[in-house]
Structure 1
Amino acid sequence: ASTRLTAPSARCRQTARALGLDARPEPGLRDLDAGRWRGLTLEEVAAAEPEAVATWLADPEAAPHGGESVRALADRTGGWLDSLAGGDGRVLAVVEPAVVRALVVHALGLPPHAFWRLDVPPLSLTGLSGRAGRWNLRCGRPLGPAGAP
């Protein structure tokens, strides 16, 4: 049996429903908190605050927007991933691209600055198999019927 989860955002919940998944919201899988930049495009923020954006993109510890740093996101989502140790099944989660990147950074032990180097295509499946401390990655697969891997 598999556990089906979704990030609490409206778009993740709607995507899960569109895929035919009965998914339970998981607060630990919420998107990066962009603080006062929430709702703005990167282009809009870069035009208004170029130095702050440059700092944010270069330093995983930085949160010039007053929200969550990339490192904090990776730590939070990584803690959730590590909590699955000893689980007895598969977990399917519909999450934001930033959460996928953060989970991959954590699972593979990548340096946090690698976060910005990972592209996550919309409506794709990224798979982590294994267990805490030893994850294998399979990324970018298109979704099958009803979100089946």
Structure 2
Amino acid sequence: MRLVLAAIALTLAAPALAAPAPKVAATSFTQLKTPLPLPYDETADAKAQVAAARARAKAQHKLLLIDLGGNWCLDCRLLAGTMELPELRSFLAKQYEIVTVDVGRFDKNLDIAAKYGLNGHFGGGVPSVLIVDPKTDSLKNAGRTAALSDARSLSPQALADWLASWTK
């Protein structure tokens, strides 16, 4: 029941007229490849990576997806594992330029989050997913950036649906 309610809440919190998400084969997180990915490079120059990803997104007419999180976070790793599912990875590659940003224990790269209006624990924790229009460098999902911070309460399909909900 909790999964159904969470999926309904995510659907209602997303914009209309989005590209439909691909159907993912995994119906449970237990079906994801293990070990789960460690997607956040703790030594990366995050500002440079975000700037390069934004330039690529702008040139390729894609959205910029900035995934703020940490390798210590199970929900972040579940999101990353779901995004690596072949059917979703292909879809996301067509729609987004994706960059992961390590925020440590909310003590690193906070200036990137602050640029888009997020402070403290980003209004709900991590992962915080920023969907950015690269032309205007504006946040498309303001107020909904922490929607996936409790990813474990969803399903892989619900995560895919939320990610697709911001696309055209």
Asked if TM exceeds 0.5, the reply is no
TM-score by length of 2: 0.32
TM-score by length of 1: 0.34
Going by fraction, where is strand more abundant, 1 or 2?
Answer: 1
Q: Decide which structure has the larger Cα Rg and report it.
A: 1
